[in-house]
């Protein structure tokens, strides 16, 4: 049997295929990999920047202990907070109230309208302790860069497609790294020069941490671009859960106070706290109360109770574990991406994943530049 052609063509085909993987990996990394590196590094910085922001701005996030003592720990009514917001900002604004999760925290109000930002109120006196515009502060800047590349909806779509590019980078990188003998050597050689050390760091770091980084990238893309969740919902045969419509009522009806509405909503789940109170800008939209059920891994809760803004009637109750699959996944994906799902240990993993993604980008570009020269 004549075997010569097999012996010569198989290595050639292997080399050509490897060259194709190498070019795909290299040029995809050079075109969009640097964006992934920046987003990863910014994400790692956010893990430590947020607690540092709280520590360095106590006037925004904390109330004086004497206030709690003098008020006997009794908080002001939500109705008085709403009156203050309306009198301060006027019409055409929507408000999202975040009650304190722990004693001593301020009441956060996300304001959306001609002015966008967060107002921080003392929950025991109702006095405003400060405010911060949506474009103010280092944390807000880093978050917008990380979540949308400062391009709003367009940036979120770009990040979703770049996440797909990372999947190709991961596969091609593993193919190029795959050793002929197992177990593979994970030694980073530092005694043979900077170039060799960077090469080993890039190759081994990508192989060892690639899947961890992939989870971080995929969850970030899922949160950034809503159509991903909608596609999953459609594939599962579910229908996207939408807010109920508000029908007009008689103008003679005296609307209940916001506190009465919150109490009415909380009666559905009396043992669980309120995560958010969302007040719409328009009268034909329902008030939404988000509850933090004990079974929900989301730190702010995804269970929604919709109430009629005039009558206070409950229009719909959407438990987090009964809504469409695309939205339900957010209860796991959000805390998984931020690290809150696993506490300090997972937060440390998220921090390291962001650093590793940045490291892969920096070392990859450096290696290409040195070899190019």
For residues 96 and 109, the answer to whether their CB atoms sit within 8 Å is yes
In this predicted model, what pLDDT tens digit does every residue of 15-52 receive, in sequence order?
788 888 889 999 999 999 999 999 999 999 999 999 99
Closest CA to 107 of 128, 91, 135: 128
117 three-class SS: strand
Place of tokens 């969850």: 219
315 three-class SS: strand
Query: What does the pLDDT read at residue 2?
Result: 46
Res. 331: pLDDT tops 70:
yes
* Structure tokens, 266: 């909380």
Task: List residues bridging with 191 in a β-sheet.
Answer: none
In this predicted model, what pLDDT tens digit does every residue of 180-217 receive, in sequence order?
888 888 888 878 888 888 888 899 899 999 999 999 99
Res. 4: pLDDT tops 50:
no
For residues 295 and 303, the answer to whether their CB atoms sit within 8 Å is no
User: Where are the domains positioned within the chain?
Assistant: 23-54+147-236+335-372, 64-123+246-323
113 three-class SS: coil
pLDDT confidence band for 373 (50 / 70 / 90): low
Give this prediction's pTM: 0.88
CA distances for 207 relative to 5, 179, 203, 357, angstroms: 34, 11, 6, 12
Contacts of 362 (CB under 8 A, 6+ apart): 37
In this predicted model, what pLDDT tens digit does every residue of 256-309 receive, in sequence order?
999 999 999 999 999 999 999 999 999 899 999 999 999 999 999 999 999 999
DSSP strand pairing (117-121 vs 128-133): antiparallel
Query: Rounded distance, CA 339 to CA 60, Å?
Result: 24
Tell me whether residue 5 is exposed, middle or buried, using C-beta atoms within 10 angstroms of its C-beta: 0 to 12, 13 to 18, 19 or more.
exposed
Long-range contacts of 80-83 (CB under 8 A, 24+ apart): 80/126, 81/107, 81/109, 81/121, 81/126, 81/258, 82/258, 82/279
Query: Rounded distance, CA 303 to CA 274, Å?
Result: 10
> What proportion of the chain, given as a percentage, has pLDDT over 70?
97
Task: List residues bridging with 117 in a β-sheet.
Answer: 111, 133
pLDDT confidence band for 326 (50 / 70 / 90): very high
Place of tokens 């925004």: 60
Query: Rounded distance, CA 350 to CA 370, Å?
Result: 30
CA distances for 289 relative to 83, 259, 271, 273, 309, angstroms: 18, 11, 15, 10, 12
For residues 139 and 53, the answer to whether their CB atoms sit within 8 Å is yes
| Edge-to-edge strand ranges of the sheet holding 314-318 | 128-133, 117-121, 107-112, 94-98, 274-279, 287-291, 303-307, 314-318
Query: What does the pLDDT read at residue 194?
Result: 81
For residues 370 and 208, the answer to whether their CB atoms sit within 8 Å is no
Query: What does the pLDDT read at residue 6?
Result: 47
């Amino acid at each position: 049997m004549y075997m010569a052609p097999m012996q010569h063509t198989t290595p050639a085909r292997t080399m050509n295929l490897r060259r194709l993987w190498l070019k795909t990996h290299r040029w995809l990394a050079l075109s969009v990999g640097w964006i992934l590196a920046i987003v990863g590094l910014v994400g790692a910085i956010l893990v430590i920047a947020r607690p540092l922001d709280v520590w360095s701005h106590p006037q925004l996030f904390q109330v004086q202990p004497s206030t709690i003592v003098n008020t006997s720990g009794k908080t002001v009514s939500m109705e008085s907070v709403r009156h203050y917001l309306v009198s301060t900002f006027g019409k055409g604004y929507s408000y999202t109230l975040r009650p304190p999760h722990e004693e001593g925290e301020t009441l956060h109000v996300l304001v959306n309208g001609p002015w966008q930002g967060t107002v921080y109120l003392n929950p025991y006196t109702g006095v405003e302790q400060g405010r911060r515009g949506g474009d103010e502060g280092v944390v807000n800047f880093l978050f917008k860069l990380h979540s949308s590349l400062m391009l709003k909806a367009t940036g979120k779509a770009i990040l979703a497609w770049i996440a797909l590019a990372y999947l190709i980078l991961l596969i091609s990188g593993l193919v190029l790294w795959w050793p002929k003998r197992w177990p593979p050597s994970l030694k980073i050689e530092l005694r043979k020069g900077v170039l060799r050390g960077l090469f080993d760091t890039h190759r081994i770091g990508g192989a060892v941490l690639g899947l961890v980084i992939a989870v971080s990238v995929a969850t970030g893309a899922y949160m950034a671009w809503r159509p991903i969740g909608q596609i999953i919902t459609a594939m599962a045969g579910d229908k996207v859960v939408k807010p109920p419509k508000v029908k007009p009522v008689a103008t003679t009806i005296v609307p209940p106070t916001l506190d009465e509405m919150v109490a009415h909503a909380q009666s559905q789940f009396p043992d669980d706290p309120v995560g958010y109170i969302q007040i719409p800008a328009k009268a034909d939209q329902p008030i939404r109360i988000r509850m933090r059920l004990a079974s929900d891994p989301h730190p702010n809760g995804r269970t929604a109770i919709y109430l009629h803004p005039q009558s206070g009637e409950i229009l719909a109750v959407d438990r987090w574990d009964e809504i469409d699959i695309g939205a339900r996944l957010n209860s796991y994906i959000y805390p998984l991406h931020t690290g809150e799902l696993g506490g300090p240990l997972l937060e440390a993993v998220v921090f390291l994943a962001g650093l590793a993604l940045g490291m892969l980008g920096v070392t990859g570009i450096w290696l290409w530049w040195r070899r190019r020269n």
